[in-house]
Structure 1
């Protein structure tokens, strides 16, 4: 029996409780808010021009939603797989749920199934995969196909075909970071669309390779120097992978968040006191992606550990305004005093724990240090429903939606767990007018 077949059976055999559906609804609120909040940006305008939501094409709708959801860098993150599953799974499921007049419970079940497939495969790719490949882009199509298969009522065989053809479309390279290009948003857009197309084709009898993961010319051989295939089916009774996923409080790369939390804790202790040096200890993947001492544009600043720590130390918080030109210029001196290096203890915990150590040396010679092994929004330190609702309200209004309307949308999503119909919930959100495009989230 193929690994993909076993994965499909494992996912479909798992019980789903009321709390699972309610938790899934929280992630839908978060992902939808991230997408709507990004509407007034240059990359969102480009995506809307090429793939508008209102085309009636489910693949293109998934592309639209998936692309927008990743722009603000506020979307969710599954630590051990290093994926942003919501940006891929929820757009794919949303497009098909609206097209098929699904009820909320079927939609949220599809979301749970999709997270499970993406994250379990992501758990198996090995650390070296992430050096070149963006895990969300490569593992996301599997989850999008799995979610779509549930909403299309595909049997196990056709679901395996769908995952096989989702896997053969897997791609997404990190090269965009060197140029500060917009490709990362294309990664989530295409992953969502690829999964939908693979499932729709499977419904029509279009076959796919069952050995897409472990085959001699399959996913692990082609893209993964150090895979761990056994992780795909490991711990079958563990909580749903969605429950092990983090929700972001800060609008920047998740690799920066533990250092931000540590720096915020230091903010009050260093305020008004001259700083001689700042040292950040991180893990290898965080350094590979976020070692950017002097970022030249907003998106680069969101991937700069040096900049994010400087902002948190200076201001005690990190917000969208922390990455603009004024903030980058104001914080240049503090960034120049900041060094980044590998912390062996922190590195040993990754990816099970995303940690950071921040040490501030004052001009007086006093040293102040904070260590974080978890950060705000992780399953072990979650946002409350009230905090998540507040984040979502701010994002919906940022995207041009009236606050009262945003509140109604949020409550409508929460009601999906009780079986409320999906209806045109997502279409109503993406039909709302957006304001002038901004380069701030490029």
Structure 2
């Protein structure tokens, strides 16, 4: 039985969050969903190896010691988390603007593998971790996101909560783990100015910090229970418009993992509603026998956060292109498939003239609908005076427009092949069967 009953008033928000999470029932469908999200994260981590930051991470990892030494789970979680967040194809929880998979799943995977945990225990820990990271993310407020990267700041709570489940921590020890994880919350958006690799560091650190915090709590290392709402806590320090009640609001809603989106395209999630809309317009141009050269101007209307992060008219790298509404729309209009190559050097050069005709603005109803709905509109203004319009209320891969199971498997297979796994199906099948497995399948990151 939990040390704090679900009907009691919690001593702190973290105590209430631990009780809320551990009181939620887990159905077989929840475990199945957690396995699909695990597949997505593992595929992203292995695919991330095939990138410049991935090669640097591999060289760094191999320089740290003999390959026959069993790696520390927390340090390995750093590597797996950093790799997972490189290609911009990992999951996203809209209301919290947190990428939970790249933090929670590496922490849970490396710890469960080291301890020989069952697949079911691992999946339950994943559900716990997603819930903690996203519930705190929903409470930080929009002003936090303008400076702080929510995955980096809220992620340590998720990795700590997942690790607490696998370590069998008491409720009191789990609160200690969350307190010390929260004190390690950090991660700033300044890297966007130069396209630096810092974002990958954010995911890795968040995964590692939670594992360390939970393992220390197992030894009795205490943490601040009021790390969120305290006078010198997280909300007071970094969240000027925080909504603390969101942490424990609507405790009986489905697991937040089920409210998390899966990305179909390898770019910032803020670009996806307009990629989807522009893809529709590309088909309509073809049906009308109109060439892209006949487009005079492209008007993109969306929500403010998308423009804050992705208003980038000129791009000079793959990474900058992935954070550019202008390039993303042009690519969706010019290419039948928006894949990794659509953000490469030749694609950037090819798309640049059309991207220069893209104008972006924050407008209703998308501005007010965010973050509950991530939508937008694309208008093509043609030489002959006609206008072609496509609107999206939600992005493909959102809970309202989910990818089919087959699409998620196809995406994972594509990512695994990109990462050098020639025969991906055995690993895919093993991950999807985790709920019945006695242990996790072997995973060689490097």
- In the other structure, the counterpart of 1:225 is 240
Instruction: Give the corresponding residue for 2:129.
Output: 114
Moved more, 239-248 or 45-54: 45-54
Structure 2 counterpart of 1:295, from 296, 308, 315: 315
CA contact (8 A) 1:51 1:61 kept: no
Partners of 1:289 and 1:398 in 2: how far apart? 27
Unpaired stretches in structure 2, ≥5 consecutive residues: 1-10
1:417 aligns with 2:435: yes
Tell me, what secondary structure is at the counterpart of 2:192? helix
2:29 is the counterpart of 1:19: yes
1:224-243 → structure 2 map (5 Å cutoff): 224-243=239-258
Equivalent of residue 5 in structure 1, options 6, 15, 26: 15
Distance 2:350 2:71 in 1: 46
TM superposition shift of 1:55: 4.5
Aligned to 1:343: 363
Q: Deviations over 1:19-40 (max 9, x none)?
A: 0001000000000001111112
Residues in 2 aligned to 1:361 and 1:229: alpha-carbon distance in whole angstroms? 45
Aligned counterpart in structure 1 of residue 402 of structure 2, from 382, 395, 398? 382
Q: Quick check: 51-60 or 384-393, which moved more?
A: 51-60
Q: Which runs of 5+ in 1 are unaligned?
A: 432-442
* 263-272 vs 379-388, which moves further: 263-272
Alpha-carbon distance in structure 1 between the residues aligned to 2:140 and 2:71 = 35
2:49 paired with 1:39 = yes
Alignment of 1:255-294 (within 5 A): 255-271=270-286, 272-273=290-291, 274-294=294-314
2:181 maps to which residue? 166
Q: 1:186 to 1:55 in 2, by over 3 A?
A: farther
Match of 1:329 among 328, 331, 349: 349
Higher mean C-alpha deviation, range 336-345 or range 189-198: 336-345
Q: CA deviation at 1:269?
A: 2.0
Query: Do residues 69 (structure 1) and 84 (structure 2) align?
Result: yes
Superposition map of 1:398-437 within 5 A: 398-403=418-423, 406-418=424-436, 420-423=437-440, 425=441, 427-431=442-446
Query: Which of 81, 89, 110 is the matching residue for 1:95?
Result: 110
User: What does residue 378 of structure 2 align with?
Assistant: 358
Task: Identify the residue that residue 435 of structure 1 maps to in structure 2.
Answer: none
- 1:84 and 2:102 equivalent? no
1:44 Cα shift?
A: 1.1
Q: TM-score, normalised by structure 1?
A: 0.95
Q: How far off is 1:380 after superposition?
A: 1.1
Deviation at 1:319, TM superposition (A): 0.8
Give the alignment partner of residue 371 of structure 1, picking from 391, 397, 401.
Answer: 391
Please point out which of 19, 22, 39 is paired with 1:29. Answer: 39
2:221: which partner in 1? Answer: 206
1:234, CA displacement in angstroms?
Answer: 0.5
Q: CA deviation at 1:146?
A: 0.2
Q: Deviations over 1:46-78 (max 9, x none)?
A: 222334596420111100100000000000000
Task: Say if 1:51 and 1:60, in contact at 8 Å, map to a contact too.
Answer: no
Task: Tell me which residue corresponds to 1:440.
Answer: none
Aligned-residue Cα RMSD (Å) equals 1.1
Aligned position for 1:137 = 152
Q: Report the Cα distance in structure 2 between the residues aligned to 1:256 and 1:150, rounded to whole angstroms.
A: 35
1:50 aligns with 2:60: yes
Distance (whole Å) between structure 2 residues aligned to residue 287 and residue 30 of structure 1: 27
Deviation (angstroms), 1:315 = 1.7
Matches for 1:166-185 after TM superposition, within 5 Å: 166-185=181-200
